[in-house]
Structure 1
Amino acid sequence: MKKLLLLFLVSAFLVVTALSAEITFWKFTDTYADATIQRFVDLWNEENPDKKVVFETFPWGDYTGTKLTTAFATGEGPDVFFISPGDFLRYVNTGIALPLSKYLTEDIIADFLPETIEAVTVGGEIYALPLEMEPVALFYNKAAFEEKGISQPQDWAELKEAAAKLKTADRYGIIVEVAPGYYQNFTWYPFLWTAGGDVVDENWEKSTFESEGAIAALDLWGSFVKEGLAPSSLPAGANDIGMFGNGLADMIVCGFWGVKQLQTQFPEFDFGVFPIPPYEKGGESISVYGGWKMMLNAKGKNTDIAAEFARWLVAEQIDFPLDWCTVTNSKFSPRYSVLEAGDEFYNTPPNDVFLEILKTSKSEPTFTPEMVKAVSDAIQAVMFAGMDPKAAAKGASAAINAYLSRYTGGVPGK
């Protein structure tokens, strides 16, 4: 009887131990790319039989909506999860994000481009692992440009002129994101920066949004819609470059990920890429690179195992990042070693254009949701409410200053 009881207790202990070594990994659903992650999750599980990663995906609208916030609010959040720059501070400031510095060696950190680590650092602590970089550019239909005799626009005036020439009764000249939110702001920032504007000062002490650069960028995007050069509504988000491939317009503001998508979905489509034109001829073209990051749950039951898995997947080996960035997708890795291993891919047209764009690109700002909304409201007001760009910039700046006066959270890179 005692032996049976002992065996039962040992078995129960082993079951509990096995269950305690399980971690969950969440991201949004991507039918094309998720198989790559699952393949490496399976590899990890095979090589670590005493540990288990359960990979789960959720529809884009749910994941980027309330899925994560609701899960964490009820204590059911994942151990490892994909996070966008726009949501980064939300989880850092609320104590959900696990500090990662103690899990990363000096050699691991040194393999990342400094600016990518800076973007996930708050108060000297690293709170996420950068996974990818996706600079924004303008994609164009080569045949349409040739037919209309259009050369690569060298400033905003020429960009608008090109959009006007390309517009027909059943086709727009350009696609820009028209829905409010993180993505619209993300693709609008290059125009703000190229015109010499910004949202806040370096230390987040005051808004710098009430500027000629912001006014010009608001006016440009507003004019695209008001003059009928761009659609005022879209069948999908402007991050879906399939609309461009299907002929909705002959130009689109989109990121590096669009290259692989076009090559896969529209293999016969002859497209080209050029940088965001400067505000005036001779000015500097400045783009933005986004990219999802891996964050860990500080309140998870197996934080050490979660950190071990995330470090292995993203920061230690080359196989997954190289596959993820150059085979499954078209993205830049934030790691020197992976960029070197993918040198041939990155120097192949049109990827080489993005390689040049990356050199003058900035990381997507990790503003708080309140700051994002202030900028978004200004863009929307000019696009759809007929507000004067100067008034919109002034209103957004006032809203940001009011928010900063009571903000007590962290500042990225500080």
Structure 2
Amino acid sequence: MSAHASQLSRRGFLSGSLLFVAGAAVGCSTDPTGGGSSGARTTLNVWFHAYGEAGTQQAATRYAEAFTKAHPDIAVKVTWVPGDYTGKLNATLLTDGAPDVFEIGDFSAAMARRGQIAPLDDLYGTAAPDFNPGDLAYVTVDGKPHGVKMVDDVVMLYYRKSVLAKAGINPPATFDELVAAAKALTTRNGKGLFVGNDGIGDTPLLAVLSNGGDLVTDGRVGYASPQAVEAVTGLKRLHDDQSLQLGFTTDWWDPSALVQDVVPIQWCGLWAMPAIRTALGDDFGVLPWPAFKPGGRPVVRVGGWTSCVNAKSRHVDAAKRFVQWLWVEQTDLQKDFAESYGFHIPPRTSVAAAADKLAQGPAKETLALAAQYGRNNPNLWDSTVSTPFNAAAAKIVSGQGDPARLLAEAAAQAQTSVDRQHSG
């Protein structure tokens, strides 16, 4: 369930909509736009991207059915959107067919400032202190939350215990050790490390953060700092050693490369842990992305999905009620969503504490890593800010151009976008 944009192509379901009125499924279509019902006074169109974890689509429809039983005057149309969810959502938000409620990954402050998503400060009530403070701050723009976090997705390094032990390699605790391990574990039959089919993935931002740098802080783009230049340049070592798996059949969000013995170390998410355990038993461990050098700090990526209300919906109040009911009030459903379809951390502290499946083994270790080293992308980290950075990093690791100049140019381009966001 990671929020990374490149993952969205993994969702291999057919598009479709299922309409619930007073708890009953009364119709479906393959048109991922709004619909109507003959009964309820209000029909909400609720968009989900096509999650890859088995059972998630059925859970979403079950939740909608439960809501309509409790609110018979509001029909809910669940729309399952495969493929480029973000692109389809952005396009549809410009039309009359835009959904009333939708989820977004990598929450965007720009959407709030453009008036695309409604402030939801009236939804939290007495439950607000129970939400992870970082999650609440993440969705807050100009003093008001504009979404409710649905799940926290943690992304870290998985490694095969037996393979590393046979090679006499300790789980890498520094970037130098990671480079050395990836090189030593690369053989004629496979590579040592998988971070994404492009060999880039999240590594540029991980490198910056693990070297004490910042991406965007207080409205200033920071990824052209000396720490950033040094760390991103350091990634070139993995490429020069040819120790990165490239062009696998699935991307980093899917654990197949690890469980099929293609690589012994892979960057992947907590959501994949049940599938990894099924395939490997106890023969795996988890690690943060290591500190770039002494004085740096290990990093795990914390992403996830946020439920938002279309500010231009004709049914804002009903849409808010749905979001409040499901993602604030229904703690049993939040627990179900977090631990029954892959593993995810519930944003509510009390729900996370009750998630029994996350309280043991590597899942428990992952929660500890997230608490100690977890970093969200800034809510200004939209495509206008991240794309120049990733493009510069791709050139740097392939030896094209001066790293300091490339990152400075990218940061200047991104700063223009950030300034525009703040100026409205």
**Pairwise TM-score range, normalised by the shorter structure:** 0.7 to 0.9
C-alpha displacement at 1:128, in angstroms?
A: 0.6
- Could you tell me how far apart the structure 1 residues matched to 2:362 and 2:322 are? 34
Structure-2 change in CA distance of 1:203 and 1:283 (3 Å): closer
Q: Check conservation: 1:325, 1:332, Cα contact below 8 A.
A: yes
Superposed counterparts of 1:20-35, under 5 Å: 20-31=41-52, 32=54, 33-35=56-58
Unaligned runs of 5+ in 2: 1-35
Kindly provide the amino acid, as one letter, of the partner of residue 386 in structure 1: Q
Superposed counterparts of 1:290-329, under 5 Å: 290-329=303-342
Superposed counterparts of 1:38-117, under 5 Å: 38-59=61-82, 61-64=83-86, 66-85=87-106, 88-105=108-125, 107-117=126-136
C-alpha displacement at 1:409, in angstroms?
A: 5.0
Q: Check conservation: 1:93, 1:409, Cα contact below 8 A.
A: no
C-alpha displacement at 1:405, in angstroms?
A: 4.7
Superposed counterparts of 1:332-411, under 5 Å: 332-342=345-355, 344-359=356-371, 360-366=373-379, 367-384=381-398, 386-409=400-423
Task: Output the aligned Cα RMSD.
Answer: 2.3
Structure-2 change in CA distance of 1:250 and 1:209 (3 Å): same
Deviations 1:150-172 (A, max 9, x none): 11212111111111111111211
Corresponding residue for residue 238 of structure 1? 252
Superposed counterparts of 1:276-287, under 5 Å: 276-281=289-294, 283-287=296-300
Kindly provide the amino acid, as one letter, of the partner of residue 226 in structure 1: D
C-alpha displacement at 1:144, in angstroms?
A: 0.8
C-alpha displacement at 1:316, in angstroms?
A: 0.8
Pick aligned residue for 1:156 from 145, 169, 175: 175
Kindly provide the amino acid, as one letter, of the partner of residue 277 in structure 2: Q
- Could you tell me how far apart the structure 2 residues matched to 1:179 and 1:314 are? 35
Q: Check conservation: 1:222, 1:382, Cα contact below 8 A.
A: yes
Q: Check conservation: 2:250, 2:256, Cα contact below 8 A.
A: no
Structure-2 change in CA distance of 1:179 and 1:53 (3 Å): farther
Superposed counterparts of 1:163-242, under 5 Å: 163-179=182-198, 184-185=201-202, 188-200=204-216, 202-204=217-219, 206-242=220-256
Partner-residue secondary structure (3-state), 2:422: coil
Partner-residue secondary structure (3-state), 2:375: strand
Structure-2 change in CA distance of 1:49 and 1:267 (3 Å): farther
Corresponding residue for residue 12 of structure 1? none
Q: Check conservation: 2:215, 2:378, Cα contact below 8 A.
A: no
Q: Check conservation: 2:104, 2:307, Cα contact below 8 A.
A: yes
Q: Check conservation: 2:110, 2:421, Cα contact below 8 A.
A: no
C-alpha displacement at 1:269, in angstroms?
A: 7.2
Superposed counterparts of 1:259-274, under 5 Å: 259-264=273-278, 266=279, 268=281, 270-274=283-287
- Could you tell me how far apart the structure 1 residues matched to 2:377 and 2:264 are? 26
- Could you tell me how far apart the structure 1 residues matched to 2:283 and 2:232 are? 31
Kindly provide the amino acid, as one letter, of the partner of residue 62 in structure 2: R
Deviations 1:338-375 (A, max 9, x none): 01211x43331101221221122122222232111121
Deviations 1:318-352 (A, max 9, x none): 1111111122221111101101211x433311012
Kindly provide the amino acid, as one letter, of the partner of residue 84 in structure 2: D
Corresponding residue for residue 29 of structure 2? none
- Among the aligned pairs, what percent are the same residue? 24
C-alpha displacement at 1:30, in angstroms?
A: 2.2
TM-score (norm 2): 0.84
Partner-residue secondary structure (3-state), 2:183: helix
C-alpha displacement at 1:385, in angstroms?
A: 5.6
C-alpha displacement at 1:207, in angstroms?
A: 2.9
Give the greater-gyration-radius structure (CA): 1
Structure-2 change in CA distance of 1:403 and 1:42 (3 Å): closer
Unaligned runs of 5+ in 1: 1-14
C-alpha displacement at 1:248, in angstroms?
A: 2.4
Pairs aligned (count): 385
- Please, which moves more after superposition, 364-373 or 275-284? 275-284
C-alpha displacement at 1:83, in angstroms?
A: 0.3
Partner-residue secondary structure (3-state), 1:137: strand
Partner-residue secondary structure (3-state), 2:221: coil
Q: Check conservation: 1:108, 1:315, Cα contact below 8 A.
A: yes
Partner-residue secondary structure (3-state), 2:235: helix
C-alpha displacement at 1:268, in angstroms?
A: 4.5
C-alpha displacement at 1:289, in angstroms?
A: 0.4
- Could you tell me how far apart the structure 1 residues matched to 2:419 and 2:111 are? 21
- Could you tell me how far apart the structure 1 residues matched to 2:69 and 2:37 are? 20
Larger RCO (CA under 8 A, 6+ residues apart):
1
Q: Check conservation: 2:169, 2:181, Cα contact below 8 A.
A: yes
Q: Check conservation: 2:206, 2:299, Cα contact below 8 A.
A: yes
Q: Which has the higher helix share?
A: 1
Structure-2 change in CA distance of 1:267 and 1:311 (3 Å): farther
Kindly provide the amino acid, as one letter, of the partner of residue 218 in structure 2: N
C-alpha displacement at 1:179, in angstroms?
A: 4.3
Structure-2 change in CA distance of 1:35 and 1:347 (3 Å): same
